[in-house]
Amino acid sequence: MPTALPRKSPRQLARARRLLAALKRRYPDAHCELDWREPHELLVATILSAQSTDVGVNRATPGLFKAFPRPSDYAAAGAAAIEPHVRTLNFWRNKARSVHESMQALCDRFEGQVPRTMEELLTLRGVARKTANVVLGNAFGLQEGVVVDTHVGRLARRMGLSRHEDPAKVERDLMALFPRKDWCLLSHLLIFHGRRACRARGGRCAEDPICLAFCAEARLSSRGPAAPRRRRAPARPRPSRRTG
């Protein structure tokens, strides 16, 4: 990712600050909703969460974490032994392989520890920027970027924070708009709002104060159905002017 972020106007930055403050007031307990205790457990849970809900992952991981307490246990076991624990999740076969290979890489290249840089994390199977940002931000408190999942992308577009569909471009817009110290928290706040107010289909537009203040959709829906247009009365014929 290039280092230069898109330039934002003072007005855009001030609006972003106000939105962040409102989200912090509204969701003071916003946090990562995946269950984990050790950094490698967060890495495993985040790999498993692609195209699956956090609730579904949290149902699968207690048994998985008990069966494989350390990265070396996954590495020694192989993907086939991991599969039965993740079978309830989408793409379970592929995810079991990613978990196995990433844990093996931890043992082979990182002394059994989760690496703390974006560059190193991206070398692991099943790890893209989103997963790496989750791990760096939540396990180590390192603000390297903003997690852009479906909720964050949708809200960023609806709230006018980004016009892009590509998560990498949305992330760069958010990084440019919000203070670095808040990048990890920002994604939790947007995900909380996305799960509680702004669903993909049918958000609580026009009911929610944050929506009303920051989203054009809310202002549109608060106007209610458009009033029927009055038909114009037919123009009266003008008296003809006599000339000559």
Active site residues: 130, 149
d(CA 23, CA 19): 6
Element containing residue 121 per DSSP (H, E): helix 118-121
Residues 52, 14 contacting (CB under 8 angstroms): no
Least Å distance, CB 206 to ligand SF4, is 7
80 vs 220, which CB is nearer to ligand SF4? 220
Q: Is 163 helix (H, G, I), strand (E, B) or coil?
A: coil
Q: Is 45 helix (H, G, I), strand (E, B) or coil?
A: helix
Residue closest to ligand SF4 (Cβ): 203
57 vs 159, which CB is nearer to ligand SF4? 159
d(CA 104, CA 122): 15
**C-beta atoms surrounding 62 within 10 Å:** 11
Least Å distance, CB 194 to ligand SF4, is 8
- Output the CA torsion sign for 139, 172, 204, 9: positive
Least Å distance, CB 207 to ligand SF4, is 8
85 vs 158, which CB is nearer to ligand SF4? 158
Instruction: Calculate ∠ Cα 45-121-52, nearest 5°.
Output: 30
Least Å distance, CB 71 to ligand SF4, is 39
Element containing residue 19 per DSSP (H, E): helix 10-26
82 vs 155, which CB is nearer to ligand SF4? 155
Q: Which residues bind ligand SF4 (CB under 6 A)?
A: 155, 158-159, 197-198, 203-205, 208, 211, 215, 217-218
